[in-house]
């Protein structure tokens, strides 16, 4: 996956699954081709296969479990996600927090099957600990700003800079929470992040195509 990148998490918004979810993913594909930038979408597990087979942009699962093939009714198996066509998976999102040892085991399972990992954190201190597990990307999202009208790039630029510094040059950071426009993207990248992770700014937008194009323009100088 090319960096910098914009990753949209469709969560379980009514615009994020089935036919409506496919429309949103197709809009991402359109903007990627139009602007020559990198975008990806994290979709509900039930949509991974259909979506991944329909577009040529990276598709993420929103979660996997650190189980192996066999028993484990209801768990999300890494091999199944990979076979469905996913490029990677989110882990430890603020709405799906998991213990540190489970994060570790999940990253290892993802690595075994070739899934790219984006692990979310809520603080610089948590980012530092997660960096020890060596995920592909660490996404810093202060929970108090998620889904709100104030961007992390506006409210906490110093914290973004600190997260980038604390994890070191060997680990790459996404930032999220309240990200909605090109300026949020530009500021995040200027502070050392390699992209943004967002959800409601696109999924609840009256004109998601306009929002995606605007976000994309924030990446064009990088």
Catalytically annotated residues: 93, 141
Distances (CA, A) of 101 to 97, 117, 129, 132: 12, 15, 11, 12
| Residue 24 burial by Cβ neighbours in a 10 Å radius (0-12, 13-18, 19+) | buried
Rounded to 10 deg, the angle between the 18-35 and 208-217 helix axes is: 30
CA 90, 146, 144, 125: dihedral to nearest 10 degrees?
30
Can you tell me which residue has the tokens 């959800």?
A: 199
Radius of gyration of the chain (CA): 16
Backbone angles phi, psi at 199, to 5 degrees: -145, -80
CA–CA separation, 91 and 98 (whole Å): 8
Instruction: Kindly state the tokens that stand for 63.
Output: 């979660």
Residue whose tokens read 């570790």? 104
Phi and psi at residue 32, in whole multiples of 5°?
-55, -45
Scanning the structure block, which residue is given the tokens 């992040």? 193
Structure tokens at 38: 């990198």
What is residue 30's DSSP assignment? H
């Amino acid at each position: 996956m090319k960096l910098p990148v914009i990753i949209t998490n469709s969560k379980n918004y009514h615009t994020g699954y089935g036919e409506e979810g496919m429309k949103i993913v197709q809009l991402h594909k359109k903007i990627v081709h139009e602007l020559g930038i990198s975008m990806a979408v994290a979709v509900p597990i039930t949509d991974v296969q259909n979506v991944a087979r329909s577009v040529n942009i990276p598709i993420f699962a929103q979660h996997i479990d650190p189980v192996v093939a066999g028993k484990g009714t209801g768990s999300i198996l890494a091999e199944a996600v990979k076979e469905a066509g996913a490029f990677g998976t989110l882990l430890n999102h603020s709405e799906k927090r998991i213990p540190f040892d489970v994060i570790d085991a999940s990253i290892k399972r993802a690595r075994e099957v070739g899934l790219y990992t984006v692990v979310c954190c809520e603080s610089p201190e948590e980012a530092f600990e997660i960096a020890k597990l060596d995920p592909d990307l660490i996404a810093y999202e202060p929970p108090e700003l998620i889904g709100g009208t104030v961007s992390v790039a506006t409210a906490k630029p110093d914290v973004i800079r600190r997260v980038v510094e604390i994890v070191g040059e060997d680990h790459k950071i996404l930032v999220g929470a309240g990200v909605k426009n090109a300026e949020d993207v530009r500021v995040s990248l200027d502070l050392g992040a390699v992209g943004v992770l967002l959800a409601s700014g696109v999924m609840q937008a009256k004109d998601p195509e306009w929002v995606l194009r605007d976000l994309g323009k924030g990446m064009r100088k990088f």
